Structure 1
Amino acid sequence: MRTVALAEAIGRLSSRLSDWGYVVKEVDDVSTVPGLVDLLGKSYLTPLSSPGHNDFTENNVIWLVAMKGDTPVFAGCARLEDIGRESVSRYWSRTLKRAYGANSDAPVIEKVRPEVEKKLFGRLVYFGDLYVNSSERGSRVALRSFVALGHLAVSLKWDPDWIYCFVREEDLARGAGVIYGFSTLLPEPFNWLSPPPPRSNSEWLALLPRDEIWSFAGASLRAALRSAGPRRDRSDNQQRVIKDAPAECVGSHGE
């Protein structure tokens, strides 16, 4: 594990974000997360990231927020899921039923893809409820740097086998895979029997294995160091379509 290099890269990304006016902090008291999300302009928290649905401790969750002055502009959750050799289909069936099953014993998902079942085991980290304040929509280089810092923080704290999230297909079409730093994208990871809003069967599974975390974070750092800043890097065309830029990641998507 590249402990010193990871810590140095976190420092450089944090410094670059600071150059652009952002201060990245870890949320110490997760009970403050709902209020933070309200300030971001997000109308809900998904159950997998909500302190109200989970017994979060400093050992199993990281909530990061980027502030501009007194205003939160980016935020996201990473939660440790150390499933060992348990099948991910059984794990997801249990946790998603608890999150979305309305106290019913009926299953909420089915048909986990065999490729997913084969890949995902061991120490997992789930990214969820990544959200961008409307004032920062289109600040792609800053968002990419913030997410890369999150990947590095997760790697330094937990050294996971995989980081994963669920991303809406429309966000992938706008470049979310690169911005969020995931190297493997799989459609239809499983089937929701009755998708609970805002979830849908158009979500893709986005994956980043341990041996690619450093490469993807390094690419994000190099892009940040080359950049003149989030606003200056936008072309006229990007300025026109800023309202359509990726805004969130539910499970990591538009959650």
Structure 2
Amino acid sequence: MAAALGDLGAALHEQGYKVREVDDFGEVPDLIRRIGKPYLTPLSDPGHNDFTRANAIWLVAESGGEPAFLGCARLEDLGQEPVSRYWRRSLKRAYRPEEGMEIITSARPEVDRAISGRLVYFGDLFASKKHQSSKSIFTLRSFISIGHLAAALKWDPDWIYCFVREQDLMRGAALRYCFSMHFPEPFSWIDPPAPRSNSEWLVALPRSELLPMVRRAVLAAKDRSVFRRSEVRS
């Protein structure tokens, strides 16, 4: 894993990006503003969570001193608790803590059976407007792969997961974000709070698939690096 982390970091550095872990979570709101992200969800907001360096990672890739990509990973160690019960409780607290009613339906049985144990949630993944072009797809993939590796080295999770809108999934978001499995309709929002919607799919990466997925990202980064050097020589 450390070798893959080094390869991806070197590939991004060659393209002019510096990847760092945010030491002070108080810096996150300013990074959100500077990168042009229109919102920060309560699941990743340091103002809504008791984040520490032990249970959360905020990563940022900077280009020319400005944030280009960023995202948050948070540890969710469920033990034996079903993920559906955890989501009902945590999402209600995140989005409608003042209301007594349920916010989501129970998760599909297939999801409850599959996703369990020590989880890592990826949230608020974002690329600045300047870095949202098709040319940045492989760069973003490298950055997210670094996030997967950082989470794996720190927490050794059973699963890493996030929620992706169907329209983004149709554009290849699962592969771009290095997730090997996806589940439609993991649960239903009873009244979706913005910006959430019932078009979201659950995308997930089990421990057994992490290295194969990251290796593909490393090979793609190396191939592009060789291609760029060939262009320069010609």
- Please state which band the TM-score falls in when normalised by the shorter chain: over 0.9
How many Å separate the matches in 2 of 1:222 and 1:204?
A: 27
Are 2:67 and 2:128, in contact at CA under 8 Å, matched by a contact in 1?
Answer: yes
How many Å separate the matches in 2 of 1:16 and 1:32?
A: 26
Q: Which residue of 2 aligns with 1:184?
A: 181
How many Å separate the matches in 2 of 1:231 and 1:80?
A: 37
Q: 1:200-239 maps to which residues of 2 (within 5 A)?
A: 200-228=197-225
Q: Which residue of 1 aligns with 2:140?
A: 143
Aligned length: 227
User: Taking structure 2 as the reference length, what is the TM-score of the superposition?
Assistant: 0.94
Question: 3-state DSSP class of the match of 1:109?
Answer: coil
Aligned sequence identity (%)? 56
Q: Which runs of 5+ in 1 are unaligned?
A: 1-5, 233-255
Q: Which residue of 1 aligns with 2:100?
A: 105
Q: Is 2:29 the counterpart of 1:48?
A: no
Question: Given residue 32 of structure 2, which amino acid in structure 1 is its aligned partner?
Answer: V
Q: Which residue of 1 aligns with 2:18?
A: 23
Q: Which runs of 5+ in 2 are unaligned?
A: 230-234
Cα deviation, residue 8, structure 1: 1.4
Runs of 4+ that moved beyond 6 A: 229-232
Are 1:84 and 1:123, in contact at CA under 8 Å, matched by a contact in 2?
Answer: yes
Cα deviation, residue 115, structure 1: 0.6
How many Å separate the matches in 2 of 1:31 and 1:84?
A: 30
Q: Which residue of 2 aligns with 1:249?
A: none
List per-residue Cα deviations over 1:88-131 (Å, max 9, x = no partner).
11100000000111411211000311011001111000000000
Pairwise CA RMSD of aligned residues?
Answer: 1.5
**Cα 1:111–1:231, aligned 2, differ >3 Å: closer, same or farther?**
farther
Q: Which residue of 2 aligns with 1:245?
A: none
Higher relative CO (CA 8 A, sep ≥ 6), structure 1 or 2? Answer: 1
Cα deviation, residue 231, structure 1: 9.4
Question: 3-state DSSP class of the match of 1:148?
Answer: helix
Q: Is 2:4 the counterpart of 1:9?
A: yes
Q: Which residue of 1 aligns with 2:115?
A: 120
List per-residue Cα deviations over 1:188-211 (Å, max 9, x = no partner).
000000000110000000010001
User: Taking structure 1 as the reference length, what is the TM-score of the superposition?
Assistant: 0.87
